[in-house]
Amino acid sequence: MKPAATVLAAAMSERDLHRAVTDMASAYGLLWWHDNDSRRNKSGLPDLLIVGRKAVWVELKAEKGRFRPAQKIWLAALAAAGHDVRVIRPSDLLGGKVQALMEEIR
């Protein structure tokens, strides 16, 4: 990644990343779901479910964001059950990996 993109990725919040990813999913005509009030839920479920030709669970993380133990458990359990699970960081958005994902599942 170029130096300017590295600086942008480091400065991008998880909230900004969420908006960019969901806006892109919508632009590709994909369905997506995010629990807007997860306070009553068991913690750890990934941030987004994006659905097109297939369903992908997405955990969004700031560039240097860390996983909580419950998140690790959920991601591992979903993957073990055969679900497609991805972790997206700002560098993935800026580097084109998120667009490639959208094209893969639309």
Dihedral over alpha carbons 56, 32, 34, 54 (to 10 degrees):
-20
Q: Structure tokens of 97? A: 């990996």
Return the minimum-mean-pLDDT range out of 34-43, 79-88, 92-101.
34-43
Residue 1 has pLDDT above 80, yes or no: no
Tokens 């990996």 found at: 97
- How do strand 55-60 and strand 48-51 relate by DSSP bridges? antiparallel
Say what the pTM is.
Answer: 0.91
pLDDT at 38 over 90: no
pLDDT tier for residue 49 given thresholds of 50, 70 and 90: very high
pLDDT in the model for residue 41: 79
Q: Which of 7-16, 67-76, 88-97 has the lowest mean pLDDT?
A: 7-16
Q: Of 73, 46, 44, 65, which Cα lies nearest the Cα of 57?
A: 46
